[in-house]
Structure 1
Amino acid sequence: MSTISQWQLRAAFAARLSEMYGQEVPAYTTLVDVSREVNEDVLRARGAFAERLGSISRVTAERHGAIRVGTPRELGQVARVFGALGMHPVGFYDLREAAASAVPVVSTAFRPVDGEELARNPFRVFTSMLTPADPRFFDADLRTRLDTFLAGRELFPPELLALADRAAAERELPEEAAERFLHLAVRAFELSPEPVDKAWYETLERISAVAADIGGVRSTHINHLTPRVLDIDELYRRMTERGIEMIDTIQGPPAWKGPDVLLRQTSFRALAEPRAMRTPDGSVVSGALRVRFGEVEARGIALTREGRALYDELLGRVDEQASQRASEARGDIARAVWERHMPGGEQELAAEGLACFTYRVDPDRPRDGSRPPAGLGELVRRGWVRAEPIVYEDFLPRSAAGIFQSNLSGAGVRDNDQQGTSYDAARLSGAIGRDVLDPFDLYEQQQNRSLARVARELGLTDIPG
């Protein structure tokens, strides 16, 4: 009997989810089509350089999804489903602190972590969990009602979880079981036709539209799916030309003449989708909810901890200058700050320890019998070693919060006189039942493994930075 491996399950799940979401949100299909057109044009214009941060086949197939759950128990079940696909929780993001409006969630991202697995299919899912215990958003009475509601629902059927556990343990499934798993997994993230309790939903929506989307319904669903594009500014222009209403900005680093780093994101605005609503007298009426949207991303080079600190510092400078120069476009301010303070080339980023690279011995290295130089910078500069940028596979809390905020129906309510409840990666790890991995550690390990291989091949005991 033939079997389906974890990466094949992951690729099939991503493809089926994309097909399903395109049927539910037709504008997403437009976004995918425009992304593909832009990528093809960039590849023709830039040639091989366009694939420096991933082959065109990977970029074209790449997706990230976003879902929201209500409780640690539900988050643990999500981890089991994605564990079947070879996806691990990476990174902790507190959107409560990153957002100016009411976004009462903490998040992680499930994704592959091995380089080969990422190359096969890099599907990732940004997963947010509601924080009912935070008194800034929920008083004691509402928290009790919310906890009761969430405890009474089932997002993932036992059969799906059993198949997920089997796939995680065996790292594959027989073909028939794989088909059943994929069917159940995709169905779990479809938009439910079940009528929404109108009064309960509106109670939560007054606090936060995100809270209502999570705790106001009896199921979960894909909140958005995100293709990857090689020129997000051009995509933004083309989507606008097609009459698709985009959010006001592209989140993340500015467009500039230097290397792309981290992540840039934007989206079309959440669409009003018809939903059946149950009123207090039990009747069902037609309504509409505006919670789902189509996002697109452009990925850059992963930064080290020092590089990320510089990025955060530059964002602070942009914020300060933008507040003082209200008539000037924020993008222009950010570009000027970047060009003044961010190294303008990959070699400088590497030399200053600000970005992450893998290294390999150059097949065209000197063959004149000379010894290789000792330092990494000299090895690269003198043609002994090639540096290849590591793609940033993760997320930015401020950008994620910015996307969420841009698609909210209102700012919600937040009582900053209350002390917020503490959440961190350790608490999330406990809920999931497995460690939330640190993305900086993953990039550093990938870089260090490549340096160890270079040292062995060149007969060096060590390669100083």
Structure 2
Amino acid sequence: MESKTERECWDSNALRNNFVVALSDMYQEEVPLYSTLVDIVRQVDQAKIGSGQLPRRHELERHGAIRLGTGREMNCIRRLFAVLGMHPVGYYDLSVMGLPLHATAFRPIDESCLESNPFRVFATLLRVDELPFEIRDLVETVLYQRDIFPPRLLQTLTRLEAGERLLDQDAIDLIADALEVFRWHSRSPTSLVQYKSMHSAHPIIADIVCFPSAHINHLTPRTLDIDMVQAEMIKHGLPAKARIEGPPRRNCPILLRQTSFQALQEDVEFRGPDGAFIPYTHTARFGEIEQRGAALTRKGRRLYDDLLALARQRIGDAPEGSPESETAFAEAFAGFPDTWSELRAQDLVYFKYTLVPGSEAVMAGRKAMSMADLVSQGVLSYEPITYEDFLPFSAVGIFMSNVKTESNGSSTRTHETGPGAKSSLEEVLGCRILDEFDLYRSMQRRSIDDCRRVLGLEQIVKS
């Protein structure tokens, strides 16, 4: 843990940094193959940068995923992540892909916090009221008998929300208690019969309900080249996914690309009819790696979604990862521009603008200029803003490739979608879910305004 004076108050960045390191250490002990993934990523990234220095955020950067069963659990997670400087961003309705879940992602939102450590957690909530009637009562009974949050952690959160300062021992206790929320437990409080009943409805229901924590089901490092990582995973004998989820390989990376190794079959114990524990197995946790690209504008995202639908239509029944499917993806996404200049000109990607040193002289006496002229005349440079969020189709693609579904197809009903569903999750959270497009647009706008003020312009005209 970072050293601090005995009576010094901790800020959210320091807490988040220390929590991520502690969580990574814990997960490495629980899933040794995670350590192998981290080593592979480090080797690939070092090969990409040569003698250069990898940015600190890349060394620390992780995203995790957890699954929660009740609104209270989601609300408490929101309170914990708020202390770590992480806020709910984006609404994801996974029911449209056959999963009885909806979700949000907790992450930092300020640029300085993202640079310090952009830790993200994709948190899904089970939609209990939409489950089949035959298992709903069982699920509710089990969920409302458990409490995955240590009492001391909840007491600490209440004190912090009341305005108390977090001192050294408090920080140590908070991180230790928070780890317990995400720790894996191989012994279930449910019976084997109950587990099988929920698992037959859908494996994800059993994974959420039958264990006494919101165990991390994957902790994901970020790489500079996911294609190289995929090749190295196969070389190391890891059971890698057949294809990388997300857009095809491009000169200008966009959004998010992910790959994984197959879920582990883990030894667990469930209660038998006589109360004694019975050995069994459970499959849920897996290893994942990601490569992040540029954040798309709303216009860019519509184009991406249209091309993705076109690719899926062309693929048809072709096996995942087959030459036919890869060709279909490549041909469909040929319709997405692949130079930064064209992506900027067509307003498909969000960019951060900076002043080129020594270029102020160009502006003598001017009150307004177009963005196109400022860029073409070398006054402003630009770089893409990193996509900090998630792609539900990619997430579900990885999940479905890692967990064999034994449901009979009737495990989920039609769920509420749209604004009403989002509002219901916001009510559970006790706060508004932020819109990721608004955040990226604000980052771009701030960079333009900063440049405008330095240049003494009254206006930078969009063109």
Query: Distance between the aligned counterparts of 2:64 and 2:445, measured in 1?
Result: 30
Partner of residue 208, structure 1: 202
C-alpha displacement at 1:427, in angstroms?
A: 1.5
C-alpha displacement at 1:342, in angstroms?
A: 1.0
Query: Distance between the aligned counterparts of 2:440 and 2:210, measured in 1?
Result: 38
Residue correspondence of structure 1 range 257-296 to structure 2 within 5 A: 258-296=251-289
Query: Distance between the aligned counterparts of 1:189 and 1:374, measured in 2?
Result: 52
- Flag the structure with more relative contact order, 1 or 2, with Cα contacts below 8 A and sequence separation at least 6: 1
CA RMSD of aligned residues (A): 2.1
| Structure 1: gaps (5+ residues) | 49-54
More moved, 142-151 vs 298-307: 142-151
Q: Would you say 1:19 and 2:14 are equivalent positions?
A: no
Partner of residue 28, structure 1: 34
C-alpha displacement at 1:189, in angstroms?
A: 1.1
Q: Percent identity?
A: 38
Q: Does the 8 Å contact 1:34/1:239 carry over to 2? A: yes
Query: Distance between the aligned counterparts of 1:133 and 1:452, measured in 2?
Result: 47
Partner of residue 426, structure 1: 423
Aligned CA distance change for structure 1 residues 202 and 368 (closer, same or farther; 3 Å): closer
Partner of residue 120, structure 1: 116
Give the one of 376, 383, 387 matched to 1:381. 376
Give the one of 370, 386, 389 matched to 1:394. 389
Q: Does the 8 Å contact 1:252/1:264 carry over to 2? A: yes
Look up the equivalent residue of 1:455 and give its one-letter code.
Answer: R
Partner of residue 147, structure 1: 140
Partner of residue 3, structure 2: none
Partner of residue 441, structure 2: 444
| Structure 2: gaps (5+ residues) | 1-6
Look up the equivalent residue of 2:341 and give its one-letter code.
Answer: Q
Aligned CA distance change for structure 1 residues 411 and 384 (closer, same or farther; 3 Å): farther
C-alpha displacement at 1:415, in angstroms?
A: 3.5
Partner of residue 219, structure 1: 213
Partner of residue 52, structure 1: none
Partner of residue 253, structure 1: 247
Query: Distance between the aligned counterparts of 1:278 and 1:416, measured in 2?
Result: 24
Query: Distance between the aligned counterparts of 2:414 and 2:94, measured in 1?
Result: 16
Look up the equivalent residue of 2:108 and give its one-letter code.
Answer: P
Partner of residue 454, structure 1: 451
Q: Does the 8 Å contact 1:5/1:172 carry over to 2? A: no
Partner of residue 230, structure 1: 224
Query: Distance between the aligned counterparts of 1:103 and 1:413, measured in 2?
Result: 14
Aligned CA distance change for structure 1 residues 280 and 446 (closer, same or farther; 3 Å): same
Query: Distance between the aligned counterparts of 1:369 and 1:437, measured in 2?
Result: 37
More moved, 103-112 vs 168-177: 168-177
TM-score, normalised on structure 1? 0.92
Query: Distance between the aligned counterparts of 2:67 and 2:42, measured in 1?
Result: 28
Aligned CA distance change for structure 1 residues 222 and 405 (closer, same or farther; 3 Å): same
Look up the equivalent residue of 1:111 and give its one-letter code.
Answer: R
Please give the secondary structure, in 1, of the residue aligned with 2:326.
helix
Aligned CA distance change for structure 1 residues 402 and 124 (closer, same or farther; 3 Å): same
Q: Does the 8 Å contact 1:83/1:164 carry over to 2? A: no
Q: Would you say 1:180 and 2:153 are equivalent positions?
A: no
Partner of residue 313, structure 1: 306
Query: Distance between the aligned counterparts of 2:164 and 2:253, measured in 1?
Result: 35
Q: Does the 8 Å contact 2:199/2:406 carry over to 1? A: no
Aligned CA distance change for structure 1 residues 172 and 386 (closer, same or farther; 3 Å): farther
Partner of residue 239, structure 1: 233
Q: Deviation string for 1:314-346 (max 9, x for gaps)?
A: 10111122128777432222222222x111211
Please give the secondary structure, in 2, of the residue aligned with 1:173.
coil
Aligned CA distance change for structure 1 residues 231 and 214 (closer, same or farther; 3 Å): same
C-alpha displacement at 1:411, in angstroms?
A: 5.1
How many positions carry a matched residue from both structures?
Answer: 450
Q: Does the 8 Å contact 1:93/1:397 carry over to 2? A: yes
Aligned CA distance change for structure 1 residues 346 and 276 (closer, same or farther; 3 Å): same
C-alpha displacement at 1:348, in angstroms?
A: 1.1
Partner of residue 107, structure 2: 111
C-alpha displacement at 1:417, in angstroms?
A: 9.7
Please give the secondary structure, in 2, of the residue aligned with 1:460.
coil
Query: Distance between the aligned counterparts of 1:17 and 1:274, measured in 2?
Result: 22
Partner of residue 65, structure 1: 64
Query: Distance between the aligned counterparts of 1:161 and 1:219, measured in 2?
Result: 15
Partner of residue 51, structure 1: none
